[in-house]
Amino acid sequence: MTAERYGVQIKVENGYLDGTLLAPKTTVPGVLFVHGWGGNQGQYLERARQTAAFGCVCLTFDLTGHGRTLDEQQNVTRETNLQDLLAAYDALVAHPSIDRDAVAVIGSSYGGYLAAILTELRPVRWLGLRVPALYLDEGWNTPKRALHVEHDLVAYRKRIVPSSDNRALRAAARFGGDVLLVESEHDEIVPHTVIASYLQAFLQAHSLTYRIIEGADHGLSDDPSQRAYTALVVNWLVEMVAGRRAGVRGTAPDQTGT
């Protein structure tokens, strides 16, 4: 952990002694976890627990249309869920222990798509995306469930999408922080072409770590896949936070603005 350093004078009988006091910084990184469509915050609680164990403040939450508000799922839009994510981010960084220059956002599928867009609206140093989805920009305020009827998402996701043609990819193209991108080997919902579109977009990233979970499907439906993903996320965050505490990185890139 990075320490603050102060020069001090220690009073003695015949004057004073010169000294240097080193104390740990009082703020710590913050990590926001974003579940996918149809999921809930419980899916990230164990990863949040392990992340908190090495000195981070973590927040999990249920998007509108999930958890307690499941009955709203039919009508919830991407705009509503993006506002949810902004509110959750603001709640996290309001914690008095948070270092606002050291915030990570970890999202899966639909949550990863929203997390990418968030980087244009709030400062994010570390961005972890597992099987991030892609949606056409059209129909932003259409209920999310209707998008699968109105748009041919299967065909859309089978082609490489230029970053200029998609809001999440445009945000990815401007992101200057560190990225973890995780693919499932046997994903039938977010195929490799979607991952390739994100990989192509992250040209400005400070670092890009790309991993494939062998044998995994989209939802990580078996325990080995769940454990593999947890290990990937936690180990990557440990590396990022350790680098921050050792002073490897400078100030956080300014990702605010649209």
Residue 207 sits at φ, ψ, to 5 deg, of: -150, 155
| Stretch 85-104: mean pLDDT | 94
> What tens digit of pLDDT does each residue of 79-93 get?
999 999 999 999 999
Q: Using the predicted structure, report yes or no on whether residue 257 has a pLDDT greater than 70.
A: no
The whole-number average pLDDT for the span 136-151 is 94
pLDDT for 16 equals: 79
pTM: 0.88
Mean pLDDT value of segment 115-140: 98
pLDDT band at 3 (very low <50, low <70, confident <90, very high): low
Beta strand pairing call for 98-108 and 57-60: unpaired
Radius of gyration of the chain (CA): 20
Q: What is the pLDDT of residue 253?
A: 44
The average pLDDT across 62-72 equals 93
> What would the mean pLDDT of 172-201 be, rounded to a whole number?
98
| For range 218-237, the mean pLDDT | 97
Determine what percent of the chain is predicted with pLDDT higher than 90: 79
pLDDT at residue 196, as a whole number: 98
Query: In 45-175, at which residue ranges do the beta strands (DSSP E only) sit?
Result: 57-60, 98-108, 126-130
- Reported confidence tier of residue 24, pLDDT bands at 50, 70, 90: low
Distance from first CA to last CA of the chain, Å, rounded? 33
Q: What is the three-class DSSP state of 203?
A: helix
* Amino acid identity at 85: L
State the average pLDDT over residues 169-181: 98
Pairing between β-strand 15-24 and β-strand 3-12 as defined by DSSP bridges: antiparallel
Residue 194's pLDDT is what? 98
Q: How confident is the model at residue 2 (pLDDT cuts 50, 70, 90)?
A: low
Q: How far apart are CA 159 and CA 185, in angstroms?
A: 17
Give domain 26-245's CATH number out of 3.30.420.40, 3.40.50.1820, 1.10.287.3510, 3.30.590.10: 3.40.50.1820
Residue 105 has pLDDT above 60, yes or no: yes
| CB-based burial label for 30 (10 Å; 0-12, 13-18, 19+) | buried
For the cut 60, the answer to whether the pLDDT of residue 26 exceeds it is yes
What beta strand segments (E) does 14-85 contain?
15-24, 28-34, 57-60
Q: Give tens-digit pLDDT for 146-171.
A: 998 889 999 999 999 999 999 999 99
- Give the confidence band of 9 by pLDDT, cuts at 50, 70, 90: confident
